[in-house]
Structure 1
Amino acid sequence: MAFEYLKSMSGGLDKNAALSDIMLAYGEDVWNYAFFLSKNRTLADDVTQDVFVRVYERLYTFRGEASIKTWLLAITRNLVRDHWRSAWIRRVIPFGILRQEGQEPSAESQVIGLLAEEEVWNTVLGLPYKLREVLLLHAHHQLSYAEIAKLLNVSEGTVKSRLSRARAKVSQQLGEEGRKA
């Protein structure tokens, strides 16, 4: 693993260089995870920044019990949950999801691609929080059942069950959408 040196990092090593390496390697994953948990781009930006501030502050305390990616995603998850528990969020109604526009070679392929992508993401984002979170961690971040279980503080059986239910719901909802069209 590229970040094995962090397990034995002491006060003499350069935190700025280590943080820069971590941000390059996992910055996008942290942002994506924050976005999928919160469904809010602005909050994902804020959480991502807070994650790396915390990593910088606590870099010398990393014990290496989990991978760097699992550690970052755990911090991300905790920060998003802290945000949802705050008094401020209970008084504000979050706005809908902004769509990211992509560029495709032709207008036809762009429309077809966007419709298919939007349908899948809307289906995934419409899942209950617990199912959406497990599906994202497994499919997108490619974490093992054991890593997900440790991150979420549940058993591996619970992870497998939630993942199975999430896949079934997505398949069912996408199948129903296909029959309506």
Structure 2
Amino acid sequence: MLDRHYLHDLAPGYDRNQVLNDLMTEYGEDVWNFAFFLTRRSDAADDISQDAFLAAYKQLYAFRGDCTVKSWLLGITRNKSLNYLRNAFIRKVTLLETVRPPSGSSPSAEDITFKSMEAKQLWTRVMQLPIKFREVIILDYHYGLSIKQIAELLGISEGTVKSRENRAKRKMAAMLNHEREGG
């Protein structure tokens, strides 16, 4: 994993193409997944991840080392994703796609099936949350960022992160209860 000093301590005359290659190799999947989680569209995630890496490439010199390289790239990805979502045409014509949950590993076919169903239901609920709740859940549980890192990435206070995460969990629990009651 590249540390926060990787970009900050680049020597003069560094090979920008090699740095871009290193970033894409190390964080390409994370950037694409985050864009997908925010937009719910694989085609948009493709475009956004390319745009995010292009922006990072152009701004390599601007990285100050205040956060991790991963947080910096996810911040760029978030901004690109939010710009995409603001586009009125996209909002009006987008159809929801299904989320492919990570497959579980288990010795029995039944366990695999049940775990897959549970994961799909969980990710379906996460994807139904408003974006401000969805992004905190994803950054915490999928990317493993700390409350402080999430707050810095989103430009909000740590208390707001905790509040949004709590509200997201309550909304997901309410969805589950509604489903159980036959709603």
What is the RMSD of the two structures over their aligned residues, measured on CA atoms? 2.5
Tell me the CA shift for residue 173 of structure 1.
Answer: 2.7
| Compared CA separation, residues 114 and 2, structure 1 to 2 (3 A) | closer
The residue number in structure 2 matching 1:95 is 95
The residue number in structure 1 matching 2:40 is 39
Question: Is the Cα contact below 8 Å between 2:2 and 2:26 reproduced in 1?
Answer: no
- Partner-residue secondary structure (3-state), 1:149: helix
Tell me the CA shift for residue 96 of structure 1.
Answer: 1.7
Tell me the CA shift for residue 164 of structure 1.
Answer: 1.2
Tell me the CA shift for residue 168 of structure 1.
Answer: 2.4
State the one-letter code of the partner of 2:124: N
1:60-139 alignment to 2 at 5 Å?
A: 60-90=61-91, 92-100=92-100, 108-139=110-141
Calculate percent identity across the aligned residue pairs.
Answer: 43
Question: Is the Cα contact below 8 Å between 2:137 and 2:165 reproduced in 1?
Answer: yes
State the one-letter code of the partner of 1:39: R
Tell me the CA shift for residue 175 of structure 1.
Answer: 4.4
Alpha-carbon distance between aligned partners in 2 of 1:141 and 1:100, rounded to the nearest angstrom: 17
Alpha-carbon distance between aligned partners in 1 of 2:178 and 2:88, rounded to the nearest angstrom: 38
Q: State how many pairs are aligned.
A: 180
TM-score normalised according to structure 2 size: 0.85
Provide structure 1 residue ranges, at least 5 long, that are not aligned to the other structure. Answer: none
- Partner-residue secondary structure (3-state), 1:45: helix
| Compared CA separation, residues 108 and 27, structure 1 to 2 (3 A) | same
Provide structure 2 residue ranges, at least 5 long, that are not aligned to the other structure. Answer: none
